[in-house]
Structure 1
């Protein structure tokens, strides 16, 4: 625990459709209108272009995020493009061949290199081999913190020591003190280094959120820490009041984001999960309204092979809970003390 606190002090200082009927829920889209991991209006043309074998739209998108310092969007867009390139790399290979010095192509390539090796039994060795290219993308990225987030993920996968990770963390937060992805990478490193240190991880997340400006995505970091606590230990590990406070902070953040829009969908899906686990169906119902048809694989894939089906199932349970009608009995996450 002392070692965990030392790590924390450094970081804090530096800164598909389900089968069945498609009847609509009251005020909610019908089941057959629900979408899983839908891209927003900016990402969609880039993915269409990649499917056609061209990188132009992806290059324009990422160049715009770099120019306008849209670091949270840049992080997510690069991750989604890298995920597409795992099965269709031709467009990315052509991009990198045509412009070897393009920092946007380098970023997607670095993200792909880390993600494609993450589930391998030989992850440590493979990421050791990928590390020079990942670091080159980071060093050549100028003020961009996103390749440093990739470097942080790579370091965690390589089981890098505390000193190395702290150096990468300092480089990341020097560029963007409130970038969500970098803070999430640090939270995941701390959790992996000291399993069971849920209170300390929540301390880190709460401090990062308190220091961030209103509307910053990093204000949802305590929600991510709360999710980890609920799925790995239970509310007693940190106290139910702190978990509710993390959910309340995320509710406030969600309220300032556009309704029924793909961009806030990851936040709202995670918030739904946590609110259900905390026994807050009325608040969960409001997040369902704001979420609209947009489901995300995380966190529902943790509970089911069909994450969209699980999302729709939970949606039905929430509607049942707030309407007072009997549920269908298919789920087991409707009460505050189920776990």
Structure 2
């Protein structure tokens, strides 16, 4: 993470015109807004983090708020002094409470006694969400806590109703619901796809929720015991990837904010054997690697990313018709056109 702090955005973007080299790659790099807050937190100072989260709350930047709160909570798992100082100085600050709630759930998640531990804290997490007014992000934490505590359908639906009443198109809350559906009903991948497709169809054009079917596709492709998709299901998985390609195309290249989407999209495209499309997403993400989804397959997500990137480049280079005039193909037999997605 310190490498990311020391790299300027200008230097990273200057490299966007060429493929990222192995020594350029940054794992879970923060963007220009988050990085100063993390640097200050490393010094034990909470004011920049407080200002950042307050701005996202006041400007209703719910997706950024969710991402920043999660990143700050992840940092606090190993360096919590700044958060302890923040909570001591402002015990009722909704932004400090948000980070603390996320941290509590994350710490319990890896425990063998996860379900029991999360059952104990779930009421407090839900109470904090109820006190947060129109902010949907604490409800994402409450939904995750309920999933980890193996809450029944009725309880989860109650929390879900509170979340969507505040922000009907919040991506994070929908991811939490999708993961609950996948966990509660193993093998219900078509139902998960239907949930994601409906949410994406109803979402505004500029909403990250338009890419939710990609997350459902990932859930199917990584499920144990499922064979290769075929027929109508394969068509739906390709459509999910195409939706996400359109969302990616609307974002700037070599930028840390859409890196999570592009890393997941590249992963799914590789699983679907759409190597030219995967190569394009790897180009667009530039040096920005995210632990998820590569940590799904390996303890070393960065090493896994580099391996997959090399394999994709080799597959594209060796494929008939991909290196000649006309540029790369779109992964399904046709040339890539500007309006393909």
Deviation digits for residues 150-189 of structure 1, max 9, x if unmatched?
Answer: 0011111111111111111011000000000100010011
Q: Give the number of equivalent residue pairs.
A: 307
Q: 1: distance between equivalents of 2:261 and 2:66?
A: 15
> Which SS does the other structure have where 1:183 is aligned?
helix
Which structure is richer in relative contact order (CA contacts within 8 A, separation 6 or more)?
1
Q: 2: distance between equivalents of 1:325 and 1:57?
A: 49
- In the TM superposition, residue 132 of structure 1 has moved relative to its aligned partner by 2.9
Match for residue 228 of structure 1?
Answer: 219
User: Does the C-alpha gap of structure 1 residues 236 and 280 become closer, same or farther in structure 2, counting only changes over 3 Å?
Assistant: closer
User: Does the C-alpha gap of structure 1 residues 235 and 178 become closer, same or farther in structure 2, counting only changes over 3 Å?
Assistant: farther
- In the TM superposition, residue 235 of structure 1 has moved relative to its aligned partner by 4.0
Deviation digits for residues 272-322 of structure 1, max 9, x if unmatched?
Answer: 001111111111111111100001111111222211111111111111122
Match for residue 284 of structure 1?
Answer: 278
- In the TM superposition, residue 234 of structure 1 has moved relative to its aligned partner by 3.8
2:167 corresponds to 1:176: yes
Alpha-carbon contact 2:16-2:253 (below 8 Å) kept = no
Scaled by the length of structure 1, the TM-score of the pair is: 0.87
- In the TM superposition, residue 127 of structure 1 has moved relative to its aligned partner by 1.1
Q: 2: distance between equivalents of 1:253 and 1:282?
A: 18
Match for residue 136 of structure 2?
Answer: 145
Deviation digits for residues 245-268 of structure 1, max 9, x if unmatched?
Answer: 000000000000111000100100
Match of 1:239 among 233, 239, 242: 233
Scaled by the length of structure 2, the TM-score of the pair is: 0.86
Deviation digits for residues 20-53 of structure 1, max 9, x if unmatched?
Answer: xxxx999301110001000001010111111100
Q: How does 1:4-43 map to 2 (within 5 A)?
A: 27-43=18-34
Q: How does 1:254-269 map to 2 (within 5 A)?
A: 254-269=248-263
Alpha-carbon contact 2:16-2:286 (below 8 Å) kept = no
Structure 1 gap segments, 5+ residues each: 1-15, 18-23, 327-334
2:98 corresponds to 1:104: no
2:288 corresponds to 1:294: yes
Structure 2 gap segments, 5+ residues each: 4-14, 321-330, 333-341
Q: What value does the CA root-mean-square deviation take over the aligned residues?
A: 2.0
Alpha-carbon contact 2:16-2:254 (below 8 Å) kept = no
Q: How does 1:80-229 map to 2 (within 5 A)?
A: 80-229=71-220
User: Does the C-alpha gap of structure 1 residues 138 and 275 become closer, same or farther in structure 2, counting only changes over 3 Å?
Assistant: same
Q: 2: distance between equivalents of 1:76 and 1:155?
A: 20
